[in-house]
Amino acid sequence: MSNERFGSVWDAIEDTPAQAENMRLRSALMMALKDHITRKGLSQSQAAKMFGVTQPRVSDLMRGKIELFGLDSLVNMAAAAGLHVEMSVAHAA
């Protein structure tokens, strides 16, 4: 077994730093959307209407099907929910 250390789980399982960063951002957006649904007490149907997507799409979100979502769709869903998404860019450590 290797004792290699990684900055995040995404760094450990993705092939490139770019893929890891993309997954990190998608994961953060998905968690924020799931939290929003929970805090508002929304059903999947209500959330789907708010986000402008189908109920099965919200089900995929709630089940953490990260591979089914791109950054664009997650940002659009967050904006439709009234959430503000900010991005910052920094040099990699």
pLDDT digits (tens, 9 = 90+) for 28-85: 999 999 999 999 999 999 999 999 999 999 999 999 999 999 999 999 999 999 999 9
CB 29 within 8 A of CB 71: yes
Q: Residue 25 is part of a domain; what is its CATH number? A: 1.10.260.40
pTM: 0.82
Q: Is residue 89 part of a domain?
A: no
Per-residue DSSP letter, 64: T
CB 86 within 8 A of CB 78: no
Q: Is residue 93 part of a domain?
A: no
pLDDT of 21: 87
Q: Is residue 54 part of a domain?
A: yes
Q: Provide the domain count of the chain.
A: 1
Q: How many alpha carbons fall within 13 Å on the CB side of residue 7?
A: 8
Rounded Cα distance, 44 and 20, in Å: 29
Q: Is residue 3 part of a domain?
A: no
Q: Is residue 22 part of a domain?
A: yes
Domain extent at residue 35: 9-80
Determine the angle formed by the axes of helices 17-40 and 55-62, rounding to 10 degrees. Answer: 110
